């Protein structure tokens, strides 16, 4: 069997091609029905240097990083996600997110183990309550793929941080007893690594709490394990609708045939879809890539929600970009794509300060004129326009 994923890809080339058709030599004898089984995908994740043989042509740096990096943060890649990679190009944007690089072994003095201070805002284990009206509910330590830019490396992939049934019940009890909580975000790890039964129990319990108005699920499964989006799972989500489901596509090459099907099925199940893209050096730090990603997401009914500046977590500084890069991308998007395709560019402040939105400065001048303040704006095309601002009634 030849590798179908060794040559450069034109935009949209994966749109109509299944990952099964692109599978590596290691999986050439696997049947289509087995490949489409999400349990099989989980059990056969690529974890060790030996596993990578027959999957990718590794560089020496990658070989060293896989061996050394796994000691700090486990390696796991689903066969599906590996099939989306260019096997010969170490700079492939999909590959860069899942295969370790030596940069993650470097620790900078400003990096933080818990950059968002989630642990210090935990009234009970597994519940982060930072904002008055919403909580993050940590439901699983497991993910199909352990992304190398993960902000929760301190606990994700670590079996000792698994959320026990007792911990989940304690989290539900806290939410029941805290009437200010109106919005609950199920997170992890990845909540969709739970069984349909357990996830259904959690969603049903949350729906029964009168003051909980919004239920959100944060998941990367549509990207890394779209086979998980089964009819049975969709029934669970449909029973609890509306579910605001935030997924995490970082590059258009992740939007293959299976991912598109998964998004359509989630829409049909009554989910409201939003995407949270993390800005990553060498992956998506160009306006053209983000524009293409956002257009393709909108086509699938998934609204670009956030562009997130990479956090100050340990071992991910090599992924970080200057804040100006994000502002440049935002300036490029405005006016060139409809408002639904323009996400918020945010920094999640270290120490639990919360999210701050950054926007390009469009004001050229602001002067007092005969009829009030005259503000001169510059639009996306570089043209300038004067706007007369009226005085406040209190002034």
Catalytic status, residue 130: yes
Q: Considering 45, 152, 220, 260, which one is annotated as catalytic?
A: 152
Scanning the structure block, which residue is given the tokens 């049975």?
Answer: 232
Catalytic status, residue 131: yes
Q: Considering 34, 47, 74, 130, which one is annotated as catalytic?
A: 130
Q: Considering 47, 176, 325, 355, which one is annotated as catalytic?
A: 355
Catalytic status, residue 355: yes
**CA pair distance 313, 112, nearest whole angstrom:** 5
Q: Considering 74, 131, 183, 239, which one is annotated as catalytic?
A: 131
Segment holding 355, helix H or strand E? strand 354-358
Question: Do the beta carbons of residue 96 and residue 56 sit within 8 Å?
Answer: no
Q: Considering 150, 234, 271, 302, which one is annotated as catalytic?
A: 150
Helices (DSSP H) in the chain: which residue ranges? 32-35, 38-43, 49-52, 60-69, 79-83, 95-98, 165-176, 196-207, 221-224, 231-239, 257-268, 287-299, 323-333
Catalytic status, residue 295: no
Catalytic status, residue 228: no
Catalytic status, residue 147: yes
**CA pair distance 372, 104, nearest whole angstrom:** 54
Q: Considering 147, 234, 271, 302, which one is annotated as catalytic?
A: 147
Catalytic status, residue 310: no
Q: Considering 190, 253, 265, 348, which one is annotated as catalytic?
A: 348
Q: For the chain, how far is it from start to end, CA to CA, in angstroms?
A: 76
Helix axes 257-268, 231-239, angle to 10 degrees: 30
Q: Considering 134, 154, 303, 334, which one is annotated as catalytic?
A: 134
Token readout for 156 is 């994700």
* Secondary structure in 3-state letters for 120-162: HHCCECCEECCCCCEEEEEEECCCCCCCCCCCCCCCCCCHHHC
Catalytic status, residue 155: no
**CA pair distance 233, 332, nearest whole angstrom:** 38
**CA pair distance 342, 322, nearest whole angstrom:** 19
Catalytic status, residue 260: no
Q: Which residues are catalytic?
A: 130-131, 134, 143, 147, 150, 152, 311, 348, 355
């Amino acid at each position: 069997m030849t590798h179908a994923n060794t040559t450069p890809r034109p935009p949209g080339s994966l749109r109509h091609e299944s990952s099964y058709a692109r599978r590596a030599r290691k999986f050439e004898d696997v049947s289509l029905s087995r490949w489409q089984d999400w349990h099989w995908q989980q059990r056969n994740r690529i974890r060790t240097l030996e596993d990578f043989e027959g999957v990718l042509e590794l560089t020496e740096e990658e070989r060293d990083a896989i061996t050394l990096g796994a000691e700090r943060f486990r390696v796991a890649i689903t066969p599906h996600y590996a099939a989306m990679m260019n096997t010969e190009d170490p700079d492939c944007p999909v590959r860069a997110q899942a295969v370790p690089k030596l940069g993650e072994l470097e620790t900078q003095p400003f990096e933080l183990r818990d950059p968002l201070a989630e642990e210090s805002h935990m009234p009970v284990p597994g519940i982060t309550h930072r904002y008055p009206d919403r909580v993050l509910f940590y439901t699983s330590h497991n993910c199909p793929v352990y992304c190398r830019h993960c902000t929760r490396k301190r606990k994700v992939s670590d079996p000792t941080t698994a959320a026990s049934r007792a911990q989940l019940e304690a989290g539900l009890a806290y939410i029941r007893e805290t009437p200010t909580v109106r919005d609950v975000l199920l997170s992890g790890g990845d909540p969709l690594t739970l069984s349909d039964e357990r996830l259904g129990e959690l969603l049903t319990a949350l729906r029964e709490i009168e003051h909980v108005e919004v239920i959100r699920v944060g998941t990367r499964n549509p990207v890394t394990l779209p086979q998980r989006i089964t009819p049975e799972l969709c029934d669970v989500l449909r029973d609890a609708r509306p579910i605001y489901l935030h997924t995490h596509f970082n590059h258009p090459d992740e939007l293959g045939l299976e991912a598109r099907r998964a998004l359509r099925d989630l829409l049909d199940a009554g989910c409201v879809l939003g995407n949270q893209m993390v800005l990553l050096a060498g992956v998506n730090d160009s306006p053209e890539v983000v524009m293409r990603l956002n257009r393709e997401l909108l086509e699938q009914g998934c609204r670009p929600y956030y562009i997130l500046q990479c956090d100050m977590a340990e071992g991910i500084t090599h992924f970080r970009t200057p804040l100006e890069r994000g502002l440049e991308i935002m300036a490029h998007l405005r006016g060139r794509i409809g408002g639904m395709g323009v996400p918020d560019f945010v920094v999640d402040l270290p120490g639990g300060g919360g999210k701050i939105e950054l926007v390009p400065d469009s004001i050229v001048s602001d002067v007092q004129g005969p009829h009030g303040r005259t503000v001169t704006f510059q639009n996306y095309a570089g043209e300038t326009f004067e706007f007369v601002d009226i005085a406040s009634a209190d002034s």
